[in-house]
Amino acid sequence: MMTVKDLFKLSLTKNFSVVAGYNGLQKKIACVGIMDYEYSEGFQLMRKEAFEPYSLVLSSLLFANQKPELLIRTIKELIKLKVSALAYKAVIYEDLPGDVLQFANEQNFPILRFGGDEYFEDVIFEVMTSIKSIENDLFLQNIMRCLIEDEVSESQLQSFLRQMNKPFEEYVFTANIRTIQTQNSKWTTPFLQFQSFLKPGIVCTYKNSVLILFTDKSEKLQFPKLLKEWMDLYGISTDGLIIGYGQVHQTHTGLHQAVREAYYARVIASMETKPICKYADLASERLLIELYRKDAKFTNRYFKEYLGPLLTEKTDKDLLDTAVTYVLKKSNVKEVADAHCCHPNTIRYRMAKIRQLLEPFSNDFVFYENLSSAVKLYLLHKEMEKTLLE
């Protein structure tokens, strides 16, 4: 959904200024219209049909030349029509009368001013192109959500493929990309430019990440290498990026698996603070992912019960942090000690204490296996919970 505030992100409208109705900048824009004579005196057009709801109305205010009393009446009519905002070109009026601005502020009705070389037709084209792009991205996001979260039947998959209406090739390759620099809201923009040449594929945003689907006639395509070439072409640095790759699948039977694998490979990479993770390289993590997908309540209950003694407020937080690092470093005590800036003996002491709290009577192998599963489910839950909050 595009809002009035989003206008300032576009090249042609970024220099528009807000002269009234600041509190209405979150109103959505669904279309754009031009107002030249609709509200001039004596004009008999049925005004209820003049503009669609949620319109951005552009005007030179020519109809009110030497007749400022028409302005408030016009704004009242636009509000009745549920118009989202008025943008006027400063040719007849450089500044609007104070009573007009006061009324617009009281009604939270945004009035924007522009006065450069912008042609109405160019503004309409850019805004409508942006609206269509946002709508298409929302459409694709919904499909991706279904592919990742739902159990997709063969008929549903075929329906999704028809709706996407793309010249897909036989094999599909997927990547899910996210940045650790969460404060940068524009990091996805260069990736979305891939769409211009990605005819047999798709690029869209999904839960603060980017999903890229590419299809090819050959299953031997080196997709990570190709993606790197695209990123170099657009000057996109890999610094701060986390990338998950799905396995190659046949498009018309395994698209949902490919998308899901890329997404969860990226989740695992985020958990393990690694820049890249390929689903093909995962082992027991695949079982944990499917278990979490099928029954998140059970998995949450499981890790909370097993790790319970480490999750209480009374327990030293260093023990939980050490347990997590111990699993991520695959029980390498020296690497764990380096990560925690302490002596290896400190880690051995903490691990002995953890074992005493969690599983005092099992052997080393069983303890590590159980601890690893519980910690990974705990991290998976935290990562998924973080996504829901964003």
CA distance 326 to 372: 9
* pLDDT tens, N- to C-terminus, the chain (390 residues): 899 999 998 988 988 999 999 999 999 999 999 987 655 554 444 445 678 899 999 999 988 888 898 899 899 989 999 999 999 999 899 999 999 999 999 999 999 999 877 889 999 999 999 998 888 888 999 999 999 999 999 999 999 999 998 999 999 999 999 998 766 778 998 998 898 888 899 999 998 899 999 999 999 999 999 999 999 999 999 999 999 999 999 999 999 999 999 999 999 999 999 999 999 999 999 999 999 999 999 999 999 999 999 998 777 889 999 999 999 999 999 999 999 999 999 999 999 999 999 999 989 899 999 999 999 999 999 999 887 666
**Long-range residue pairs from 119-122, CB within 8 A, at least 24 positions apart, any chain:** 120/34, 120/58, 120/89, 122/12
pLDDT score at 387 = 75
pLDDT score at 37 = 62
What is the pTM (predicted TM-score) of this model? 0.79
pLDDT score at 38 = 53
Q: In what order do the strands lie in the sheet with 17-20?
A: 17-20, 111-114, 85-89, 55-59, 31-35
- Per-residue pLDDT reduced to its tens digit, 21-75: 999 999 999 999 998 765 555 444 444 567 889 999 999 998 888 889 889 989 9
CA distance 113 to 19: 7
- Per-residue pLDDT reduced to its tens digit, 170-214: 999 999 999 987 667 789 989 988 988 888 999 999 988 999 999
Residue 248 carries which DSSP code? P
Tokens 């450089």 belong to residue: 94
Burial class (CB in 10 A: 0-12, 13-18, 19+), 297: exposed
pLDDT score at 15 = 86
Beta bridge partners, 172, equal 215, 249
pLDDT score at 46 = 40
Strands (E) in 223-293, as ranges, are 241-245, 249-250, 276-278
Domains (range + CATH), the chain: 2-126 (3.40.1390.20), 151-282 (3.30.70), 296-389 (no CATH)
